[in-house]
Structure 1
Amino acid sequence: MLELLICSLLTVLPDFLFRRFVQGKRLGKEINFFSVWYELRWGITACAVLTISLITAIFYYHPATTSVASYFRTVTILPETGGRVAEVLVENNQKVEAGDILFRLDDSSQQAAVETASKRIAEIEASLAVAGAELAAAEAGIEQANAALAQAQDDLDRNLELRERGSAAVREAEIERLQNLVARREGELGAAEAGKASVEENIGVLIPAQRASARAALEQAEVELAKTVVVAGVSGRVEQFALQAGDYVNPILRPAGILVPTEFVERDRFVAGFGQLTAGVIKPGMFAEMGCLSKPFTVIPMVVVEVQDVIPSGQVRPSDNLRDPQDNRRPGTLTVFMEPLYEGQANDIPPGSNCVANAYTSNHDLLDDPDLGFGRWLFLHAVDTVGLVHALLLRIQMLLLPVQTLVFAGGH
């Protein structure tokens, strides 16, 4: 409407003044409701063409969007294991610090597993003491076997010496018996030494391995027990937290609530979605203005800091079907990141607020070029000048925003 009024002052009004004062035609006589379309045809046609051209230039070189928001991060409150809630230690909307306990799950089975693993370690420690006694017994058995072997060997040596001297008191049967006795004593000694080696193997290898395995089982049981205590990973405020003792929570199907971190991600950075037609106009460093529903009557100067080099509608995810371009429901927007021109101007805007924004093309540097032609110079001046119309429209929109929202939109 504002563009139409401005263009009519340059087209329809001069045409009417010419008809009225040069041709002498009067309103209500020669110029009436039925003849105005013919009498002022040149002014009306020029007004329509100029208005359409002006609106096109304004929205192309000074694009606008109603899709502006400041995104923030949320953390889903989830246990690492499913279970029934035994104790809740925080309330909804409560501020918590990183490491604070939020709630506990029933840990009876985990406690039993820890107790079982502890008893297993104690059992293995006891078996180590028993193995020490068995080692002492094996060493004593070796000494006994050595003594018995030495005695049998002495008896055999004595009888063999007597036989060599030709003594009639020595019998072959006795020598054979002593030889068999020595062989048996040697076998008993070998068995005693093998028994000692077995006990030493148990003490040095088997029991330490069993103890390490039992300690690993205890650590695993303690880790499972720790999973029943859910703590805050970051500092923030607990939201949508209606958990009560006896409720069942699951890391996949049943979250407990949401934690909104105190430090928001990119709190002073706003993300705007402009039409794809503006991809060749919007550049980093471009000035912009923004107004938010949560802060009416205020226009915040902004600057474009980054333009995303991809458009979300072209995103492809692997699937078993080939993607057909005609299945795109709507064209994606050009994602633009903006920040306040002056620090702190957007601090009182709650993250997630809906905002509108205008971006302005500035040709100041090009206009200073001495080699710039007159036609180009005039065009660039016109482009920069019509940006004032868009800035005025934004201020009118922010001025009428409360009325439009509270009265005509039913207070939403």
Structure 2
Amino acid sequence: MLKLYRIKILNLLCYQALQLINLFLNRKKIEYQHNKLLIIRLDSIGDYMLFRNFIGEIKKSKKYRDYTVTLCGNILWKDIAESFDKEVVNDFIWIDRRKFYGNIFYKYKIMRSIREKGFEIVIDPTFSREILYGDSIVKVSGAKEKIGSTGSPDSHSKWKRNLLTDKYYTKLISSSKANLFEFNRNKEFFERVLNEKIEIEKPFIDSSKIFSDKIPVSEYYIVIFPGAKHLKRRWSVDSFAEVSGFILNEYNLGIVIAGSEEDYQLAEQIIFKTRANKCLNMTGKTKLNELAKLISNATLLISNDTGAVHIAAAVNSSFICISNGNHFGRFHPYPKEIFDKAYYIYPPEIMNNQDNIELLKNKYRFSSELDINEIKPGTVKETIKKILG
């Protein structure tokens, strides 16, 4: 409870700091740059993977084809954006979310820089709009036209947006009330912004453009991705180790464990428990663009519900996703018409109700407290057999 109050107080202080910065910067008149567009996207890797293909649609649209496009993004996915999207983005502004939240000098520097660029139009397509991030940058930009989404119907945040930040926008694009898959949600948003039909049907990236001597291309392997931001979305080390041992015993395949630097100890524990020398720990050793290449060359990815599965879908690689069902319908499972090589394994309560998808989409739309470790390694092994034979 004390932690919750602490977070609320910190959020209030951050909000007040943003208001003061905006008030200070507002004193100077903006010199607008004609045909200059800012797109804001500050959420996670998976969110970006399900959004990024629409930047090209903006760039070639009748409405904005003569505009220079600047992308204000989360520095977490800088590598993948600058590797694959520099042909459709003229300039990038990178934001470290932790610094932006906690460092008032960093916050001021970023916000002043954005305001001084004189953007004519700003678009924040984020469905789960964030008052302390995207909304505040929209406000300080001072753009003539500010376009956003009416946002998620999650009652926890909707009333705050309605009260505080809806007024920052000159135009809010209405969103379907249905629980849409995120790629389809983005498509709906941009079709309404551009007033054009968008033809792309699934996320994609061309990993053939990436060359790296870090990628073990000389052998067949499966990628294991054991990390996750939140503990409730992280399957146990013992379970990953058991599945890894099964793969090594049953198939002539190597194991590559991938992830961030924070996942290094998880990977070492899996390797220790597996007791095999065909496991390679590459956590913290690949940039995101190299991770895309690593996954594209793999026979299979086995991962918690992270951005790795969305990278796999974009490079057309089969994956098994182990999930507790959080945000069911929005980020998973992939609709078959978008990607048909995705295999999801959930706790029994969800697996036993697969014939009632609408029930699951409503029940776990915003969150799930189901225990991911109710998923047994045997279920994952059977799925591997189904895929690999």
Establish whether TM, by shorter chain, passes 0.5.
Answer: no
Rg larger in 1 or in 2?
1
TM-score normalised to the size of structure 2? 0.16
Normalised by the size of structure 1, how large is the TM-score? 0.15
